Amino acid sequence: MQKITLITGASRGIGAACARRLAADGDLVIINYHHSAEAAQKLAEEIGGIALCADVSDQTACEAMVQTVLKQFGRIDALVCNAGVAAAGLFQCMEEQTIQRLYGINLFGVRNVIAAALPSMIQQQNGAIVTVSSIWGEVGASCEADYSASKAAVIGLTKALAKEVAPSGIRVNCITPGVIDTEMNDNLDEDAKAALCEEIPLGRMGRAEEVAAAVRFLLSDEASYITGQILGVGGGF
């Protein structure tokens, strides 16, 4: 039976790489996006998926998106909570609007989508969820305190929820990407990227496809006895 997989923030970067990888493995992929309609539609056509617009920081929008999927396909087998934003700056200088956006998307966006999809997974007594945190959620990053905190909270949510829903046959795991060569890191100049690469044992930035491979594993039957785990994809950083 073809798996129905919903990926948030899937129009580009890690999310798009996950969409391509899972579609190549036979999943029917629902590509969630907020602003990047053209990119999402193009990707949906490429992989034979469906693009759905929803702001993950809006609980009502997430519920509507999930209900659209359930009405059309009857179930959601897998969920990848990938949508995220970054912002750098001194802790005491961060603007309130930026702070609210960081937590609204990075943390509450994860919670909103899971809360919307979970009842159907519990009813079918099956499902796999992968959240996407960050290496900074594990170790913290200077001048990214709120970003690090929002991603650290995702790790805590993953571990706790995994224990709560395991009796219902649902697995919840987390990926913590390191420095990945995506648009999120376009703010770094070449010197900054080179400096980061010197700190990475494998000596280079990661590729979105490498993160997607880890996500694919955690969603697959090969990981059927793995839940509540945090898998770093960071080149040993």
Distance from first CA to last CA of the chain, Å, rounded?
A: 38
- Establish whether 33 is a catalytic residue: no
Q: Are 88 and 143 in contact (CB under 8 A)?
A: yes
Find the angle CA(228)-CA(231)-CA(237) to the nearest 5 degrees: 145
SS (H, E, C) the chain: CCCEEEECCCCCHHHHHHHHHHHHCCCEEEEEECCCHHHHHHHHHHHCCEEEECCCCCHHHHHHHHHHHHHHHCCCCEEEECCCCCCCCCHHHCCHHHHHHHHHHHCHHHHHHHHHHHHHHHHHCCEEEEEECCHHHHHCCCCCHHHHHHHHHHHHHHHHHHHHHHHHCEEEEEEEECCECCHHHCCCCHHHHHHHHHHCCCCCCECHHHHHHHHHHHHCHHHCCCCCCEEEECCCC
26 CB burial (10 A radius; 0-12, 13-18, 19+): exposed
Catalytic residue among 33, 103, 147, 225: 147
Q: Which residues are catalytic?
A: 147
